[in-house]
Structure 1
Amino acid sequence: MLPWVVRRTGLPLLSLRCADCRSESAAAGAGRFRVNANGKRLDVWLLVRCTSCDRTAKLTVHERAPVASLDPADLNGYRANDPELVASTLLDPLLARRDRFTLDWTGAWRLDAPPVPLDERWPVRVEVVFADPVPVRPERLIAQGLGLSRNEVRRRIKCDVPPRRRTSAGFAFTVMPGD
């Protein structure tokens, strides 16, 4: 069995309408939080920038949260703009739903895969593991990894998951001999 690993190479772009220029794309850039105290309550926002006009927008992470209710490690991470906390916050599906954005993963991931010997023993079994929760279509991932067309993938691949539905969970597939 050959191992393939999908890794995140950067933060994905956000599909989020800009209030100024009406563009649909924003980026978290280096990732910065803004923390505002109001008495014993905190507001925490993740700052993002429009890729067209450079306007800054705020994504609400915590709103009027009691200081005691926040994990001290997270609070220190918000203050220090911890890159791992930025990534985990941005990838949180609850934040995306609340702030009404989706993630565009184009160019933000890579496939680490050894070459598949397509002319040797048949069938060849491949296991795909996700190091980060990058949603990809198995059909496109397999086509990219094997250097085949998607039609060829449909003919030669037996997959454990629906090949046209996005997934970020590991799966396995078998490459069958060509005709």
Structure 2
Amino acid sequence: MLSWVVRRTRLPLLSLRCLDCRSESATTGEGRFRVNANGKLLDVWLLVRCVSCDRTSKLTVHERAPVSSVDPVRLDGYHGNDPDLVAAVLLDPLLARRGRFALDWRGAWRLDTAPVRADATWPVQVEVVFADPVPVRPDRLIAEHLGLTRAEVPRRVKCDVSLRRPTTTGFNFLVMAEAAVRG
């Protein structure tokens, strides 16, 4: 069995309309939080920057939350702009829904694989593991890496998930030999 791993190479861009220039693309840059305390209440924002005009906007992480309700380790991460915490907050689907943005993963991930050997015994079984929740369509991933057309993929591949729906969870597939498909 071969193992393929999908990894994030950088944080994805955000599909978020800029209020100044109407561009649709924003980035977290190096990842910064803004923390504001008002008495015993806390506001935390993730700062994002427009790729076109450099305008900074805020995505609400916590709004008027009692300081005692925020984990002290997490609060230290907000103050220290912890890169892992920036990634965790940005990849949280609840934040995307509240902030009304989508993530643009183009160019933000890679596939680590071992090549299929020419003398491999057919059919070849492959396990795909996601190190990060990168949404990819299995048919595109398989076609691109194996050098197949997307039309060939359903004929030559048996998969335990829908080939045409993006997934962020691991899956297995079986690649049939070309001769077995024709015969």
Tell me the TM-score normalised to structure 1 length. Answer: 0.97
Q: Which residue of 2 aligns with 1:39?
A: 39
Equivalent residue for 2:59?
59
- Determine the C-alpha separation between the residues in 2 that align with 1:117 and 1:59: 47
Residue 108 of structure 1: how far off its partner (Å): 0.6
Partner of 1:77: 77
Counterpart code for 1:41: L
Runs of 4+ in 1 over 3 A off after TM superposition: none
Please identify, of 112-121 and 142-151, the stretch whose mean Cα deviation from structure 2 is larger: 112-121
For 1:68-147, list aligned pairs within 5 A.
68-117=68-117, 120-147=120-147
Q: Which amino acid aligns with 1:129?
A: V
Matched residues in 2 for 1:162 and 1:78: separation?
38
SS at structure 1 position matched to 2:74: helix
Q: CA deviation at 1:151?
A: 1.6
Q: Quote the residue 2:27 is aligned against.
A: 27
How many residue pairs get aligned? The number is 179
The alignment status of 1:8 with 2:28, answered yes or no, reads: no
Aligned mates of 1:120, 1:74 — CA distance in 2: 48
- The equivalent of 1:50 in structure 2 is 50
Amino acid of the residue matched to residue 173 of structure 1? F
CA distance in 2, matches of 1:27, 1:109: 15
How far apart are the structure 2 equivalents of 1:117 and 1:160? Answer: 23
Deviates more, 1:118-127 or 1:21-30: 118-127
Q: Distance in 2 between matches of 1:118 and 1:110?
A: 23
Identity %: 74
- Alpha-carbon RMSD across the aligned residues, in angstroms, is 1.0
Q: Identify unmatched segments of 5+ residues in structure 1.
A: none
CA distance in 2, matches of 1:65, 1:141: 42
Is structure 2 residue 167 aligned with structure 1 residue 167? yes
Partner SS for 1:140: helix
Task: State TM-score, norm by structure 2.
Answer: 0.95
Please, which runs of 5 or more residues in structure 2 have no aligned partner?
A: none
Q: Residue type matched to 1:120 in 2?
A: A
Q: What's the CA shift for 1:147?
A: 2.1
SS of residue paired to 2:52:
coil
Cα deviation, residue 119, structure 1: 5.3
Q: Distance in 1 between matches of 2:120 and 2:91?
A: 40
Range moving further from structure 2, 80-89 or 118-127: 118-127
Q: How far apart in 2 are the matches of 1:86 and 1:120?
A: 42
